[in-house]
Amino acid sequence: MIKTALFDPTRHYPLSPLGWNPTVAQAAVTAIAQTTITQLQTTPLLSGHPMDDRAFGSDLYFGKAGVLWAIHYLQTVGAIDSTFDVATQLDATLAQNHEDYAQSSPYPEQSSYLFGELPLLLLQYKLAPSEDKATQILQAIHKNDTQPIRELMWGIAGSMLAAWFMYEWTQESRWRDVFTLQADSLLQAWQPVNEAGHLWTIDLYGKQQQWLGPVHGFASNLTPLLAGQVLLTDEQYQEIAARAMLTLIQTAVTDDDGANWPAVYKAAAFKQIPKLVQYCHGAPGMVTALAALPQGHEQFDRILLKGGELTWRAGPLKKGSNLCHGTGGNGYAFLKLFIRTGDELWLDRARAFAMHSVEQYRFAQQRYGQLRYPLWTGDLGLAIYLWDCLQAQAKFPTIDVF
């Protein structure tokens, strides 16, 4: 009998029986990238997709910034053979982003990593380092010094991640300084919660809730703290790791061999069984975001594996092949567990999801007559996931690597 209590089976498909085929995976990477590049050369204004609930934008999450980042990344790592120059489109995209963000952002005074200028400035700096561009990045990051503590999409966790990438590239003390300044602010807001461990109360969209996932909540705020471990004291990191592991254990909803997490934590008296199994909300994202924590804590190690089992049990997502709420994003949980444990079962499962994702992307392209362009919610994110499956690595785009 199939267990379904910890997820909604109507959101998932049975897994395709296709075996791993690296030639098919590489062909999909090439086709997605080349189709996108051809479209960019024809018209810089990419079209939205019928499966999406908003217009194509200029940002990293849902728009042009993510497309340009993905093409450059695939070129840099050798996943595609292309000389397309993304730099020629960055200035116009940045100008459009300034306009878009001022008009539509719920937090126009705050820097956003996924929707604002930060990733475009970072990509410009990476392609052509300059003091002027570094100053613009630093000013953008500092916008979040005194803003309400939020999460990775709109707030301080995203600006900390940008600071970490700049420190990684330059080793300059100013990036360490701004990272630790914002880390201190973030850690002060991390408070004990009965029966749950330590959580942030996220001020988001007019509500204050204890979100859990890697985009809006607990796991999202841990993302820069784990990435920038070398910028913290040993004492700070050890306390962060201990709190994080205990909280992941205590917020999990489990059965005999699976674990899942709700989008928002509620006290035991009001707790609901989680239904989402996606990167943004649920087991895949919690496993992916926190698999870098130290090994050796028996309960934590076990709960991560149970999160992976639940992701496998649920199967591919009907929402598509994308990263944020699709089959590719779920597959990153398996890649992370493979890196963490060395057990090739997880690599095999990641590659099984990869082959299903290729079928999903092809079917959608045939049905709608176009690609789904965004990095986080479309086919370019899938291309990077396929590349990681080919390389047997786990580098979630714009989070683990920029």
Q: How confident is the model at residue 270 (pLDDT cuts 50, 70, 90)?
A: low
CA distances from 71 to 48, 169, 390, 392 (A): 18, 20, 17, 20
pLDDT at 235: 97
Alpha carbon dihedral 63, 66, 67, 68, in 10-degree steps, equals 120
Q: Long-range contacts made by residues 268-271, C-beta under 8 angstroms, separation at least 24?
A: 268/195
The encoded tokens of residue 229 equal 């471990």
- CA angle at residue 253 from 251 to 257, to 5 degrees? 130
Task: Please write the tens of the pLDDT for every residue from 95-126.
Answer: 999 999 999 999 999 999 999 999 999 999 99
Q: What is the DSSP letter of 198?
A: E
What is the pLDDT, as a whole number, of residue 3? 55
- 355 neighbors 321 (Cβ within 8 angstroms): no
Average pLDDT over residues 283-311: 98
Q: Which pLDDT does position 104 carry in this prediction?
A: 92
pTM of the predicted protein model: 0.96
Mean pLDDT, rounded, of the chain: 95
pLDDT for 36-47, tens place per residue?
Answer: 999 999 887 788
**Mean pLDDT on 160-181:** 98
